[in-house]
Structure formats: structure tokens, C-alpha cells
Amino acid sequence: MAVRRILTYPDTFLRERSEPVTNIDGKIQQLINDMADTIYHTPNGIGLASNQVGEPCRIIMFDTSAKDEPNDLVVLINPEIIEGDGLIVNEEGCLSVIDYRADVKRSERVTVKGIDREGNPITLKKEGLDAIVLQHEIDHLNGILFIDHISKLKRELYKRRLKKKLLKERDSSSQRL
């Protein structure tokens, strides 16, 4: 098992649609183990999609349990939202969108189907935070980031701030050489 590097915006890989998993083999099991190590290694991570660690397949996982509670990791392969209703606005952040949080409108309740890591069909009916996380992670598999759900103005302001930060980091690292 290993902690994987999480890709960050503006990496174009995050914008690609992931392909369905057709065979749950040892490579997929290892990826799931690595993703679990990665999510538990990050201080604020509660959800992770496989393309965030550079793998273009359709796997997500999440654990919304409190840090002082036992782990309750949910792994879904080829997840698909089959129903959503209600509306909730919640502040979201993302391991791939550094230093930014914003209010996002999502369905309050969702029904998601997929398969577990053993290949068994699974249907989840979730609401509140679990529903939000499921939608957020499935968006990743479709090349959508949470900043795509905010206003164009807020998104542009974030892009400018990030560009300045990246330029500053690049200049700082080149001065150290």
C-alpha cells in the first residue's frame, strides 16, 4: 500500500472523463488500497476519486465519520447517480482545488448504484453530507470540479489567485537553485 500524489487544478487530467472498470483484478484492488491510504493520510480528506491520483477509471471512496470514530470507508466502482431530489447549499472544498472553498448547490438526497470492491452490486440512498460527497466525487469521474458549480466571476477570481500563487512558488524555487 502507498500514499499517492493527488493531482491539483489546473492539471488537465482532472478534466478527463474516467472509463468504467471492467475487471476487478489485483491492480484495481491495489489502487483501492492506495487510495484508502491516501485519503486517510490527508488531514481534511473525506472523499477521493481515482482520477485525482492519476488513474482514469471509475472508482470513488469516502468516509464521513468523525476523526475520533472508527473508519467507515465506502468504496464504489462505476458509481452512477440514478435519482436525486431536494436542494442543499453547502460549503465545499477539494483536495485537488487547493486553498479554496465555496458554497455549492447540490441534491439533498441521492440514490447511487455501483459495485463494491468484491464485484457485488450496491445501491446507496444517502442524504446530507454523504449525498454531497457522492455527487462531488462522481463529478470528478466526469471531469467536473466543484468550482464548475460556482459563478464565473468567483471561478475567475480563484484562477487568478492560484496563478499568482503558482508563479510566486516557481520564482521562489528557481531562486533556491
Active site residues: 137
In terms of Cα–Cα distance, which of 64, 62, 58 is closest to 74?
Answer: 62
In whole angstroms, give the CA distance from residue 86 to residue 161. Answer: 33
Report the topology of domain 12-150.
Answer: Peptide Deformylase (3.90.45)
What are 62-75's pLDDT values in tens digits? 999 987 788 899 99
What are 1-23's pLDDT values in tens digits? 699 999 999 999 999 999 999 99
In whole angstroms, give the CA distance from residue 102 to residue 92. Answer: 6
Residue 17's contacts (CB-CB under 8 Å, 6 or more residues apart) are 141, 142, 143
What are 154-168's pLDDT values in tens digits? 999 999 998 888 888
| Domain boundaries of the chain, sorted by first residue | 12-150
